[in-house]
Amino acid sequence: MTKTVRNRLLGFVLAAVIFAVDQALKWVVDYPLNMRMGDTIDWLPFFAFTRTHNHGVSLGMFTANSPEMRWGLVAVTGLIAIGVTVWLLRERKLGDILPLGMVLGGALGNIRDRVRLGYVLDYADLHFGAIRPFLIFNVADACITIGVLIILARSLFMREKPAETQSDAAKADQPAETH
């Protein structure tokens, strides 16, 4: 197995793990905890499980108020997941592949919710007193956000230097001409 194939496989394994953890936590909120919309269970002074339903996309925008809009969101997010998959298959470096795996795993978790439930189940409520720096989210949302931030940081700060050609190296070795 080549290094590139191994890296891509690791990206898909990461996506599958994120998908599984996301769905497992949503199952816990649904069944063993039997939480209903708006229920809250405090876990730490700064973290609670608070069940909410997101009928839109990021930050609740583009709310799906009809079955057509719901399936439209499924189609759009499905196309994005396909695009991320193609992108992942084109990359070679693990540092580029893993954040794409994070985005893919999160996207698949939220797509499954929207298909199965008609909304995305959110539950993670991070707060510091009355201050809530984020809306209520889930593992899938967190992985998508972190993956996108890593992709952006790598594209902005980790630019590759162009490969030096043999002719460039030969020119650098020659003494400078004087007139």
- Count the residues in the chain: 179
- Catalytic residue chosen out of the listed positions 30, 122, 125, 168: 122
For tokens 């070795």, the residue is 173
Q: 3-class DSSP state for residue 42? A: strand
Is there a catalytic annotation at residue 125? no
- Catalytic residue chosen out of the listed positions 125, 141, 168, 173: 141
Q: Mind listing the pLDDT tens digit for each residue in 4-51?
A: 999 999 999 999 999 999 999 999 999 999 999 999 999 999 999 999
Give me the tens of pLDDT residue by residue for the chain, a chain 179 residues long: 899 999 999 999 999 999 999 999 999 999 999 999 999 999 999 999 999 999 987 656 668 888 999 999 999 999 999 999 999 999 999 999 999 999 999 999 999 999 999 999 999 999 998 888 888 999 999 999 999 999 999 999 986 666 655 665 555 556 555 55
Distance CA 23, CA 160 (A): 37
Residue 81 carries which side chain, given as an amino acid letter?
A
156, 141 contact by CB (below 8 A): no
Is there a catalytic annotation at residue 96? no
